[in-house]
Chains A and B, each alone.
Chain A
Amino acid sequence: MKFFAFHLMPWDRLPDDFAEKYDTAWTWLPNQMFDPEHGGQLYNNYLDQLVLADQLGFDGVCVNEHHQNAYGTMPSPNLMASILARQTKNCRIAVVGNALPFYDPPTRCAEEFAMIDCISGGRLIAGLVVGGGPEYYSFSKNPTFAREMYKEAFDLILRAWTEPGPFEHYGEHWKLKYVNPWPRPIQQPHPPIWIPGAGSRETIQFVAQRRFAYMGIPYFHMDFFQRNFDMFRDECEKCDYTADPEQLGWLLPIYTAETDEQAWAEYEPHLWYFVEKLLKGLVVFPPGYTSARSIAGIQKGLKQFMSTCKTREDIEAGGYAIVGSPDTVRQKLSENIKKLGVGNLLGLFQLGTLPHDLTCKNMKLFAEKVMPGLREELNAAPTMQQAAAT
């Protein structure tokens, strides 16, 4: 069982009247709201939190890429990962991921990931993603080409890592006479690859067939994760192998405090800031981003999305976030990890406006009072899926 600390690096100063005045925290939210002095402070706090994760014994830290929004102010996760490559010593650095259609040419991603892998001594996990729906507006990138650009870029990057250069790449979207990226990654044949997904069968099949790892897109109801992870295991069986739990990752907000009541009291305002403000406008499917049928299906699936939550009870019932005393958090996580059959837990320990001191306290309590017991328990006992498979 592996434990990761995931960071979105959110903007924490949206105005009180945001809900009435703005339709979205994405793409069109005026950037005058971003105060650079405060932004600098936040970046440094957030990096300190991820360095702390390494010191506390987390297996890894995760950063990701978003553009022109308040939800995650990390347009370049590779910048953050390169700092972490120096400032952390032991943990994995998962960049989940680079949105490939926005790297021109995509060999830039192969180069930058190889740099991070070299600097960190082979600790990179390479996330290769399509990019979120809103980003196709932010970059004026044609979403009807998103999937084929992603596929072309993906194959090119893997080739660039595994095939001696220089070689020619003449694809539909990129024409490169000399592909020959320096440096090459330490991890051979290439760094581990993680691919996030929101449940489309095409993505799940692709990840299963290539034996990569599938990270469930967060903020959905527990049943939604269960269905997708079960589908992933089925697809692996169809490829004649049994999924390793480490091929699956479950990402969710976690908050631990001394008691259940204290945890909710400390956490709730920050959680609702996240749900009511930062999630607003995240789920956008520009035309052709995925098939018309999938878009229609996902729109219906949004009934199982965190933004429908209005109360603490809604959050707890759907397992959208795990909040409570160390015992409560451990017991709930244990139960769900076994049920979902995942080998990677990706915790969001900072969320919305949650301040630096509470975030650090949350992580310390988790690392000291939740993680060791969970590790022991989960490494000893096979998950239900493993038990069923053997």
Chain B
Amino acid sequence: MKTENKTLSVAGKKTQLTILGQGPPLLYLHSAGGETEPIPFHEKLAEHYTVYLPAHPGFALSEGLDQIRDIHDLAWHYVDLLNELNLKNVPTVSYSLGAWTATEVKLLRPELIGPLVMIAAAGLHVDGAPMQELFIDSFDKLRELLFFDPKSQTAVDYFPSDVNDPRILMWLRAREATARVGWNPYLHDPKLAGHLHRIEGPVQIIWGRQDKLIPLAHGEYYAKHLPNAKLTVLEECGHMVPYEKTEEAAKIALDFLAS
């Protein structure tokens, strides 16, 4: 598959951008896990679109985390990035931290983000459905938290094996960049819920029934309060939707964007 690696300067911040596939542009905003190198889910999207896959500041080779103080700074970074790429009304697929970010961008500049796919989105606090602790050290416990089947090969391969794994530094950087915007308030923006009625464009929400990090109640809240949203729930699936249900989730996203 055609893949291009670029380094942009976005308002002075060095930003890693991977571009893959062919077709009209599609923006993918990644999760706290930092899927900044193409994964099979991206490749499915890239069969129909030119997928723009930027790394958030502090993730992978992107810099400028010192200029990010909260989620709104991250959202403004994407306003700058989309202007830099000259993209408007761009179809967007977003996951977890990325989906929260996409929502905030859509509030700031509604014309930049087109039809929006939100997978297992962070961003809300829902009474009675607390998000579990993501910032723990044990990879075994993280597997239990994030995957429906923590013993699957996907779950085993997902994390660095130990502190000697060469991926550990990138992992620690991703954790830091996530904590920067999501430590407190924990993975949410207390004002976001009150803004949801202002997001008028079409939204496809996708959630894993057994998501323990961000319970399904958050997906239901988004679906209820976004004026033009549809929720699809995947069975036997945890938080790691693009990894656990690659085919199904890609199909739902592509069908929605094509409609």
Minimum CB–CB distance from B72 to chain A (whole Å) comes to 15
A287: contacting residue among B175, B184, B186, CB under 8 A: B175
Tell me if A295 counts as interface (CB < 8 A to partner B): yes
State the CA gap A345–B38 with chains docked (Å): 55
Beta-carbon contacts under 8 Å, B147-193 to A: 163, 168-169, 172-173, 175-176, 178-180, 183-184, 186
Tell me if A292 counts as interface (CB < 8 A to partner B): yes
Note all chain A residues with C-beta closer than 8 A to B175. Answer: 287-288
Tell me if B137 counts as interface (CB < 8 A to partner A): yes
Decide: A296 and B179 in contact? CB cutoff 8 A: no
State the CA gap A284–B135 with chains docked (Å): 11
Which among B135, B175, B176 has the greatest number of chain A C-beta atoms within 10 A? B176
State the CA gap A196–B168 with chains docked (Å): 27
B138, closest chain A residue (CB): A23
State the CA gap A286–B175 with chains docked (Å): 9
Decide: A140 and B186 in contact? CB cutoff 8 A: yes
Note all chain A residues with C-beta closer than 8 A to B137. Answer: 284-285
Minimum CB–CB distance from A148 to chain B (whole Å) comes to 9
Decide: B169 and A140 in contact? CB cutoff 8 A: no
Note all chain B residues with C-beta closer than 8 A to A300. Answer: 163
State the CA gap A190–B184 with chains docked (Å): 35
Minimum CB–CB distance from B159 to chain A (whole Å) comes to 15
B186, closest chain A residue (CB): A140
Minimum CB–CB distance from A381 to chain B (whole Å) comes to 42
A302, closest chain B residue (CB): B163
A129-144 CB contact bits vs B (8 Å, 1 = yes)?
0000000010011111
State the CA gap A330–B224 with chains docked (Å): 72
State the CA gap A40–B256 with chains docked (Å): 63
State the CA gap A141–B65 with chains docked (Å): 18
Decide: A142 and B180 in contact? CB cutoff 8 A: yes
Decide: B176 and A292 in contact? CB cutoff 8 A: yes
Decide: A292 and B163 in contact? CB cutoff 8 A: no
Decide: B180 and A296 in contact? CB cutoff 8 A: no
Note all chain A residues with C-beta closer than 8 A to B173. Answer: 292
State the CA gap A158–B180 with chains docked (Å): 28
Decide: B180 and A293 in contact? CB cutoff 8 A: no
* Interface residue tally for chain B (C-beta within 8 Å): 16
Give the secondary structure class of B's interface.
helix
Decide: B176 and A141 in contact? CB cutoff 8 A: no
Decide: B163 and A144 in contact? CB cutoff 8 A: no
State the CA gap A336–B52 with chains docked (Å): 60
Tell me if A386 counts as interface (CB < 8 A to partner B): no
State the CA gap A288–B57 with chains docked (Å): 14
Decide: A142 and B169 in contact? CB cutoff 8 A: no
* Interface residue tally for chain A (C-beta within 8 Å): 17
Decide: A286 and B135 in contact? CB cutoff 8 A: yes
Decide: A292 and B169 in contact? CB cutoff 8 A: yes
Which among A284, A286, A292, A299 has the greatest number of chain B C-beta atoms within 10 A? A292
Decide: A299 and B179 in contact? CB cutoff 8 A: no
B172, closest chain A residue (CB): A292
Decide: A295 and B172 in contact? CB cutoff 8 A: yes
Decide: A143 and B183 in contact? CB cutoff 8 A: yes
Decide: A142 and B183 in contact? CB cutoff 8 A: yes
State the CA gap A144–B65 with chains docked (Å): 10
Note all chain A residues with C-beta closer than 8 A to B186. Answer: 140
State the CA gap A140–B175 with chains docked (Å): 16
With A286-B135, A287-B179, A288-B179 already in contact, the answer to whether A296 and B184 are too (CB < 8 A) is no
Minimum CB–CB distance from B197 to chain A (whole Å) comes to 29
A293-330 CB contact bits vs B (8 Å, 1 = yes)?
10110011000000000000000000000000000000
A28, closest chain B residue (CB): B133
Note all chain A residues with C-beta closer than 8 A to B65. Answer: 144
State the CA gap A285–B168 with chains docked (Å): 14
Decide: B172 and A287 in contact? CB cutoff 8 A: yes
B90-116 CB contact bits vs A (8 Å, 1 = yes)?
000000000000000000000000000
Decide: A293 and B169 in contact? CB cutoff 8 A: yes
Beta-carbon contacts under 8 Å, A231-287 to B: 284-287
Decide: B176 and A140 in contact? CB cutoff 8 A: no
With A286-B135, A287-B175, A287-B176 already in contact, the answer to whether A296 and B163 are too (CB < 8 A) is yes
- Given contacts A287-B172, A292-B169, A296-B168, list 11 more A-B pairs with CB under 8 A: A140-B184, A142-B179, A143-B183, A144-B179, A144-B180, A284-B137, A287-B179, A288-B180, A292-B172, A292-B173, A296-B163
Q: Give B contacts to A, CB under 8 Å.
A: 65, 135, 137, 163, 168-169, 172-173, 175-176, 178-180, 183-184, 186
Can you list 30 residue pairs at the A/B interface with Cβ under 8 Å? A137-B135, A140-B183, A141-B183, A141-B184, A142-B179, A142-B180, A142-B183, A142-B184, A143-B179, A143-B183, A144-B179, A144-B180, A144-B183, A284-B137, A287-B135, A287-B175, A287-B176, A287-B178, A288-B175, A288-B179, A288-B180, A292-B169, A292-B172, A292-B173, A292-B176, A293-B169, A295-B172, A296-B163, A296-B169, A299-B163
